[in-house]
Amino acid sequence: MACDEWRDKLDLYLDGELEPKEAVALGAHLRSCSSCASDALERVQLKRALQVAGKRYAASAEFRKRIVASAALPARARVDWQWRWTNALALVLLAIAGLLYVVSGREAARRRVYSELADLHVATLASATPVDVISSDRHTVKPWFQGKLPFTFNLPELQGSDFSLIGGRVTYFEQAPGAHLIYQIRKHEISAFIVQDRGREMPALPSGPVSKLSFNIESWTQNGLRYFVIGDAGADDIRALSKLLRDAG
Amino acid sequence: MPDPRLSAATFEDLAVPLFDQLYTFARWLTQDTAEAEDVVQEAYAKALKGFASFRPGTNFRAWMYRILRNCFLSSRTGLKATVPLDVDGEQDVLPTDGATPESILLEQTGRQQVQQALAELPVHFREILLLCEVEEMSYGEIAETLGIPAGTVMSRLHRARKALRARLQEELKGGRHGV
């Protein structure tokens, strides 16, 4: 290879970019060619001069401090943020879990109440003596409960309605005494339970009608009493009886 | 999602050691202390902001220099010093440029003259010489930093050196005239 060709590759060689094989060959050439060797030396000197000259500037200590701080502080802030996000996420998850627990707890309580009411309703109707006091007259039934329950309540006047009062009995709902009234409408028997409202101990039931276990149920709280109306009658009939009871109460 | 290996603390670990080099580079590019500080500060802010987009395992130094260079190019001085489009279009890729008596040249020129010559070079020559000689970047790294092909690095570097030698010779002549 001619010296001109080698010289074309001198910069690559000195920059360490030449293929190893070629670099070895060029190295050998430089040892044998003083002209190329002196050219290489000149180039190395220029490189060195540039290296030295290039390091001319240095940042002020004050500026350096500022940048180092700026590179570090937001990083820490970001770590903080990540933590905050993690914490926030944990809190949200915890809140959701808590809510689910409460909701599922309430749902379980609700289901328990519905089951108990349905059981009472069905068991009573299946009994040979469903009611202890038989009357279609509220003036007979209501006084019958006197002394049997630690509370009193009003019953609606049924004249002019399709409902008739079959009778009543004392029942126990959630380990507390209550009035169980049985109404009839078009061969459908509907139970109305009246118990003392025990606030938080009692599961919060929606006040509107609920279809559960194929029974229609309506529940509300009035004057410290909890009313449950349950039966296999249509929702409209349940609602109508509930309205009568509510208006009377 | 950002790579979990890229914790925010890593930016500090990677970027702070580069501060002195980056500042020197910015100072050479801008030729002004206040502007260099602005450029460096902007580059650090942008790099920190965009750190999530940095792919681990790739060259952080080249990434950082590229950001710094972009900040410079959009700065006051940088906008004036845009690289002409045909800068690499010339035919003389790796020509031999006669026997320049560099050793004689360099013996007679001191550090100041080299600094002066470098400062007077167009930005695109100045930056590539700094990246190669001062930062000792490989051609690949330079290509990545400047966003140009490796072949262009070679030819531009060659012409930058040639331009620097010419400048030094001029200075030397000027100096002689002055004596």
State the complex-level ipTM. 0.78
Q: What are phi and psi of A187, to 5 degrees?
A: 70, -5
Token pair 């009313």 in the structure block, residue:
A227
| Residue A212 binned pLDDT confidence (cut-offs 50, 70, 90) | low
Structural domain contains residue B18:
yes
Structural domain contains residue B3:
no
Shared domain check, B130 and B106: yes
* Pairwise pLDDT comparison (A151 vs B145), residue with the higher score: B145
Q: Compute the Cα dihedral for B137, B142, B143, B147 and give only its sign.
A: positive
Structural domain contains residue B87:
no
Query: What is residue A209's predicted lDDT score, i.e. its pLDDT?
Result: 55
Specify the CATH number for the domain of residue B57.
Answer: 1.10.1740.10
> pLDDT by residue (tens digit) across B62-90?
999 999 999 998 887 777 776 555 555 55
Specify the CATH number for the domain of residue B138.
Answer: 1.10.10.10
Shared domain check, B98 and B73: no
Structural domain contains residue B23:
yes
Contacts of B27 in chain A (CB under 8 A): 56-57, 59
Q: Compute the Cα dihedral for A112, A118, A123, A129 and give only its sign.
A: positive
CB pairs under 8 A between A and B: 122
Please check whether residue B27 touches A, CB under 8 A. yes
Rg over alpha carbons for chain A, rounded to the nearest Å, is 47
pLDDT at A29 over 50: yes
Query: What is residue A205's predicted lDDT score, i.e. its pLDDT?
Result: 62
Query: What is residue B4's predicted lDDT score, i.e. its pLDDT?
Result: 47
Q: With CB atoms and an 8 Å threshold, state whether A8 touches B96.
A: yes
> pLDDT by residue (tens digit) across B3-55?
444 444 478 888 989 999 999 999 999 999 999 999 999 999 999 888 888 88
Please check whether residue B93 touches A, CB under 8 A. no
- Two structure tokens written together for A18: 């030449």
Contacts of B164 in chain A (CB under 8 A): 46, 50
Shared domain check, B14 and B62: yes
Q: Which of B30, B50, B80 marks a domain boundary?
A: B80
Q: Which of B34, B50, B80 marks a domain boundary?
A: B80
Q: Which domain holds residue B57?
A: 8-80
Structural domain contains residue B107:
yes
Q: Dihedral through CA A195, CA A201, CA A206, CA A212, nearest 10?
A: -80
- Who contacts B99 (Cβ-Cβ below 8 Å, separation ≥6)? A39
Average pLDDT over residues B143-149: 93
Q: What are phi and psi of B28, to 5 degrees?
A: -65, -40
Average pLDDT, chain A: 81
| Strand pairing category for A188-196 and A209-212 | unpaired
The structure's pTM equals 0.54
Q: Which amino acid is at A45?
A: Q
- Nearest by CB to A7, which of B96, B139, B165? B96
Average pLDDT over residues A151-157: 84
> pLDDT by residue (tens digit) across B95-134?
444 445 555 556 556 778 888 899 999 999 999 999 999 9
Structural domain contains residue B52:
yes
Query: What is residue B26's predicted lDDT score, i.e. its pLDDT?
Result: 94
| Bridge partner list, A168 | A133, A181
Average pLDDT over residues A172-181: 85
